[in-house]
A and B are shown apart, each in its own frame.
Chain A
């Protein structure tokens, strides 16, 4: 079987694109073969060959985020996209960039940084994620709700389909409503319908400066009130988090409840934010507006992408973020939340499935949701990691775009 698979695909890809499959395990399963194509046409040809011969393909970039979605039902071919890492177009004066999907966010930020620009996204676990992975997983970070996310910044994409077609949608201009936004359908879809090979983004000028403040509180409720007061001031904040004592410890702050915030802008903005933080802290009897470096954010970001732990993301109303943190802590998690996004992240070394189900019911009772962001295969098989899709529509789309279940079979639902 392996021999026939290799020979089928060797006819479309040069031998030099093969990689040792042992380097591409997912959930402990090693694929039969692995390929690292270098052009979009090679990606399309590989997909077409696999689709025609009935083999399943799992696309991957930096392999930082492989514990999302259900466990794969079959895994024949590893499709390593890091060979597609070229800049297609950077138009600094238009604030747009088009790059191949295997480029890392770090490389993209370096490119943009040379022209005083950046892509304002901070996905877990860090900037190692590829552009394709950034879109396919649609993970947001602490900036979400204050700054646009990848799904808001993507202007268009080219996607390789199982039938070998390369499909474009959107474009490279910052405003565009021509046709269906297929690039939005692929954002967050974990490769359900095709493999993103290129994407265009709206970028932003780098802020003049960035400062973070940590406010120590006596309890989460007080922290929440303080955070709301700051949020209501129309300050140019880029992040506003509530931390449980455990989460504060994880962020290498003293183990107390905290409000952690970041602002971006010039000196005048920074002075204003610093003053506001000071005043609010005094009014709330919190212990000062201690300025901190950006390390706590990096640690939270890493924790949100933890590959050795269970990580859950709860969507809840902003006013329920502190309550949801306490609920998750009660279930044995370390939890923190972002007010503007209505997001609570909860991390635990392990978690029984019934606790995940219970927390999901809790989030739903508040009009929210729960997504499993990271967990081992058995938990993701026991509990639907996403849970909120219109399954009939997703199934119908999958039937249209990947009827044989060639890409990431089983990720969305059994047998798909």
Chain B
């Protein structure tokens, strides 16, 4: 509720930065009052830092103007979409200007014959899917937050999703990008077809977490929707058996389009709320989807069922209708949010290991959690070896947060030691900067820093993100790690 407006304006006078922004995009599209800035202090993590101003450009020209104005006023720039990031990527770590792209939300072109779409960065992932569906096409990357996350955010994080297993991450589906570079110049990277000539600046930009510029237009490729899909739920007594089955399926040369695991903690959180049909007494379930021609999905389904039975699945069910399939997926995509109902707080991790190491890594994750005295709920992209342990805790318990962060670090270390990575799809952001040194040496990090310098974003564009060093950021260390608390709309 807005109260005593004159007083507030008096308390927070318009700075020259704000006045310049208002002149560029209109005062209705600039926020600068402390109360208004609150919502832009954080993303789906809860590290907070208040920006100096928030601006909502409507066009490429306005976005470029915002960048130039921030440069003139010497303040950092942080691009932002829906704020669903899980690594603190949209937190204005040094204050400055947050550029929110949600007003740039138009699908500019959708050409079913050429199978491309050109969109603005604020278009919601699901909105593009829905626009494609009547043409029998789909935009393959489907992060679990697809109902709310923007395609610009997907570019920034090179987002994955359950169907990454077969279709690849965002970078494999982006043909070209219009971007505003840190100096305010507007350029196109890539093209409207595959394999643009020359240095792949497009491929370098995707996944750069808003440190190299602001995306203002995106050209993506669309793929033909499959003729047939079969979605199975394989029920296991233990996590161990479920993870062994994951490897066994791939070993047989069957590559499902999705291969997801949910453990008992998740099932017990999801089922009472969403009633999707997961058995409460299962140790773990696998959600397995195969697609292709009508004839072949039945063969693939039979093969998957065979492998799961060999690996001691108690039962394998196949969704009998589109409705049933949708419900099985609803449980998966709403799984993380459901944890909020059974635990006051939880901390979401995102690690990757070689798929064959999953069983031993999961045993270690559970052992470490138990030793630390926390329950851990697992819901993840098993086929890709991409773990998402969720450590459940109560922040009111003294010392809990420190112990949770410590456990998170231990689990990340297990992933790295198994030959894996510190992030599969959530990004490095603020949260994992210190872990970068676990997988990269000084020459690697220095080379990455050079990219940032070449793009001109070294100090001012989304500072303190992605790399463990940065002027004025201090050196990342463990105590800087963030808390992931239960917030509405947390997805993986």
Contacts and interface: CB of A to CB of B under 8 A. Distances in A.
B191 A315 contact: yes
A116 to B, nearest CB: 7
* Most chain B beta-carbon contacts within 10 A, residue among A161, A172, A342: A342
A400 B453 contact: yes
A390 B447 contact: no
B225 A393 contact: no
A371 B197 CA distance: 6
A128 interface: no
Given A179-B436, A179-B444, A315 B466 contact: no
Nearest to A400: B450
Interface string A218-258: 00000000001001101110000000000000000000000
A266 B254 CA distance: 12
B419 A175 contact: no
B343 interface: no
Contacts of B189: 390
B169 interface: yes
Interface string A362-403: 000001111100000000000001111110111011011100
Interface in B238-262: 247, 250-251, 253, 255
Interface stretch (A19-27, A31-39, A316-324): A316-324
B199 to A, nearest CB: 5
B444 A152 contact: no
B450 A401 contact: yes
B385 A192 contact: no
* Most chain B beta-carbon contacts within 10 A, residue among A174, A192, A387: A174
Nearest to A172: B419
A293 interface: no
A171 B421 contact: yes
A12 B247 CA distance: 45
A397 B296 CA distance: 47
B444 A169 contact: yes
Interface stretch (A46-54, A140-148, A303-311, A328-336): A140-148
A182 B448 contact: yes
Given A140-B194, A179-B444, A173 B454 contact: no
Contacts of B296: 236, 265-266, 268-269
Given A181-B203, A181-B204, A269-B293, A165 B253 contact: no
B113 A168 contact: no
Interface in B180-203: 181, 185, 187-189, 191-201, 203
Contacts, number: 262
Interface stretch (B31-39, B96-104, B322-330, B352-360): B352-360
B419 A268 contact: no
A285 interface: no
B227 A342 contact: no
B464 to A, nearest CB: 15
Contacts of B204: 180-182, 184-185
Interface residues of A, number: 80
B451 A182 contact: yes
A389 B353 contact: no
B195 A149 contact: yes
* Most chain B beta-carbon contacts within 10 A, residue among A144, A232, A386, A390: A390
A388 B191 contact: yes
Given A93-B251, A94-B356, A179-B444, A388 B420 contact: no
A342 B354 contact: no
A372 to B, nearest CB: 9
A151 interface: yes
Interface stretch (B6-14, B47-55, B369-377, B423-431): B423-431
Given A393-B454, A393-B455, A151 B203 contact: yes
Contacts of B451: 180, 182, 185, 397, 400
Contacts of B444: 167-169, 179
A208 to B, nearest CB: 9
B466 A180 contact: yes
Nearest to A174: B384
Nearest to A265: B296
A177 B187 contact: no
B184 to A, nearest CB: 13
A269 B423 contact: no
A179 B428 CA distance: 7
Given A177-B428, A317-B114, A388-B198, 19 more contacts: A144-B195, A151-B195, A173-B419, A174-B355, A175-B381, A175-B424, A176-B424, A180-B208, A181-B207, A185-B199, A185-B200, A234-B224, A268-B299, A272-B293, A315-B193, A342-B194, A387-B198, A390-B201, A396-B456
26 contacts: A93-B251, A94-B385, A165-B443, A173-B421, A176-B423, A177-B424, A178-B428, A178-B432, A179-B436, A181-B171, A182-B447, A185-B451, A188-B199, A234-B227, A268-B296, A316-B193, A317-B114, A318-B113, A343-B195, A385-B197, A388-B198, A392-B185, A396-B455, A401-B447, A401-B450, A412-B199
Interface of B: 111, 113-116, 136, 157-158, 160, 164, 168-169, 171-172, 181, 185, 187-189, 191-201, 203-204, 206-208, 224-227, 247, 250-251, 253, 255, 292-293, 295-296, 299, 352-356, 381, 384-386, 419-428, 432, 436, 439-441, 443-448, 450-456, 466-467
- Sorted nearest first, the 4 A-B pairs with minimum C-beta distance are A184-B203, A315-B193, A371-B197, A342-B193
